[in-house]
């Protein structure tokens, strides 16, 4: 009986292990609800995200396989910025890319990036490099010499696996001040990924669906903050991304097929939008937007536009910023300096933290009484604004400066 019970336990354990292999990838990387290790494009757990509803998705498609498909040629390698694009020179034995996608988001103060690729053939070992750049890249869709634009801190994420394995090895390099890619750093513990173990319907970026046999689609999810790439609450802006295949596992080997760069639509930066109004009788009663007013955060000064707005983009999250107005002459501000917290991702068009400033115009009020008789007459002024009160034997000249809008009632007595 004990032997039978032990056998049942072993069988149950085997079943549980199989279930974990089949469904474990549906769970998302800690901190994210993106299913980056299930090897498909659909949402397995309601409320989660996958490639069918990826946040801030950008996708690219390769040129059709054949003599018109472009690739890097003439010995192009990863460290080179001066490269050459050629047509129809992708070896049949190498991975022929089909599509790729990149998405991303910030969850709290952690920054996540999601990557996917598909290929036209099944050549076993895969070595794909996803290049994520801060600056836009040149047009790589036409043949000829090109100069890649790289900035310190750009990322090169390698997605590699041997034939027969569905679990990739993920590493990252950063572009250094020496104008070369740095040493690879493991993303283990801060990432997950999987290739398809069975045929999937692939429609990355909303493109027409294509059935991809096993190991012709792959994906990954990476917590860039966990990996030490983007510090918590930092502002790290990336603007373009593309993918390319290497001719072997060696980093110094030639790079071959690629899919041209696409614009990246996710950010982990915040923004502040300032709205400025003032009272201006020439524009009618009430408050109106005021253009041309300077506002400053740190060393950056921006003037309000025709709508009375000034935007400060590219701000790190989790910080408070002091917004200071340069108050125009002839006006007084309700509050010329305000502190604004930036706690969520935003841009000048959506999601920005907001702050409002209001100004009031100032007027100098002057009352003059001039006697025409030598020796003067005695007159007095009594107003409900005490700044204008006066009494004198002779001329009266009283001024109340910097008066805000109001109604002033005065009694003037001339030579009683």
3-state secondary structure of 387: helix
**Hey, which CATH number is domain 270-361, 3.60.15.10, 1.10.287.610, 2.60.40.10, 3.90.76.10?**
2.60.40.10
3-state secondary structure of 252: coil
One-character DSSP codes across 34-103:
B-TTSSSSS-SSTT-B-TTS-TT-EEEEPPPSSTT-EEEETT--TT-SEEEEEES---TTS--EEEEEEE
CA 153 to chain centroid, in Å, comes to 15
CA–CA gap between residue 137 and residue 409 (Å, rounded) = 69
Report yes or no: 215 and 202 within 8 Å, Cβ to Cβ: no
Q: Please report, for the chain, the start and end positions of each structural domain, with discontinuous segments joined by +.
A: 25-263, 270-361, 364-414
How many Cα atoms are found within 13 Å in the side-chain-facing hemisphere of 278? 24
pLDDT reported for residue 266? 80
Going through 196-349 in order, the beta strands assigned E by DSSP cover 200-202, 210-212, 217-223, 240-246, 255-263, 270-279, 287-289, 294-297, 300-303, 309-315, 319-325, 331-333, 337-342
Q: What is the pLDDT of residues 256-286, one digit of tens each?
A: 888 999 999 787 888 999 999 988 766 777 7
Report yes or no: 267 and 317 within 8 Å, Cβ to Cβ: no
pLDDT reported for residue 2? 40
**Consecutive H or E run containing 396:** strand 396-403
Q: What is the pLDDT of residues 76-131, one digit of tens each?
A: 899 999 999 988 766 554 568 899 999 999 888 788 999 999 998 877 678 899 99
CA–CA gap between residue 74 and residue 178 (Å, rounded) = 23
Distances (CA, A) of 219 to 68, 209, 210, 230, 338: 27, 17, 16, 21, 45
Q: What is the pLDDT of residues 288-336, one digit of tens each?
A: 999 999 999 999 999 999 999 999 998 988 889 999 999 999 999 888 9
* β-sheet bridge partners, residue 156: 131, 173
* β-sheet bridge partners, residue 367: 398
């Amino acid at each position: 009986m004990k032997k039978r019970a032990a056998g049942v336990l072993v069988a149950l354990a085997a079943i549980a292990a199989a279930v974990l292999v089949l469904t474990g990838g549906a769970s998302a990387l800690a901190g994210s609800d993106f299913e980056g290790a299930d090897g498909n494009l659909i949402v397995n757990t309601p409320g989660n995200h996958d490639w069918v509803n990826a946040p801030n998705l950008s996708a690219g498609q390769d040129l059709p396989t054949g003599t018109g498909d472009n690739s890097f040629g003439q010995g192009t390698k990863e460290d080179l910025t001066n490269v050459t694009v050629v047509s129809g020179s992708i070896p049949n034995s190498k991975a022929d890319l089909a599509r790729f996608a990149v998405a991303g988001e910030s969850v709290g103060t952690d920054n996540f990036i999601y990557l996917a690729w598909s290929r036209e053939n099944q050549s076993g070992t895969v070595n794909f490099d996803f290049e994520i750049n801060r600056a836009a890249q040149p047009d790589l869709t036409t043949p000829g010499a090109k100069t890649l634009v790289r900035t310190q801190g750009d990322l090169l994420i390698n997605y590699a696996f041997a034939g027969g394995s569905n679990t990739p090895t993920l590493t990252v390099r950063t572009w250094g001040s020496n104008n070369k890619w740095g040493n690879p750093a493991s993303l283990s513990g801060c990432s997950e990924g999987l290739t398809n173990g069975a045929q999937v319907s692939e429609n990355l970026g909303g493109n027409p669906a294509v059935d991809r046999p096993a190991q012709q689609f792959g994906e990954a999810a990476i917590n860039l903050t966990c990996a030490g790439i983007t510090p918590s609450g930092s502002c790290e802006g990336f603007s373009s991304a593309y993918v390319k295949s290497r001719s072997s596992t060696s980093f110094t080997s030639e790079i071959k097929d690629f899919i041209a760069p696409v614009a990246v639509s996710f950010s982990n930066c915040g923004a502040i939008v300032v709205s400025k109004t003032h009272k201006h009788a020439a524009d009618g009663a009430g408050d109106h937007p005021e253009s041309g007013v300077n506002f400053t955060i740190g060393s950056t000064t921006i003037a309000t536009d025709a709508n009375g707005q000034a935007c400060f983009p590219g701000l790190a999250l989790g910080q408070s910023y002091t917004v200071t107005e340069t108050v125009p002459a002839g006006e007084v501000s309700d509050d010329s300096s305000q502190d604004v917290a930036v706690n969520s991702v935003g841009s000048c068009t959506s999601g920005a933290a907001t702050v409002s400033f209001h100004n009031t115009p100032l007027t100098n009020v002057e009352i003059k009484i001039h006697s025409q008789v030598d020796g003067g007459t005695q007159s007095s002024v009594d107003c409900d604004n005490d700044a204008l009160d006066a009494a004198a034997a002779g001329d009266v000249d009283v001024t109340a400066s910097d008066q805000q809008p109001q109604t002033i009632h005065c009694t003037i007595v001339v030579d009683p």
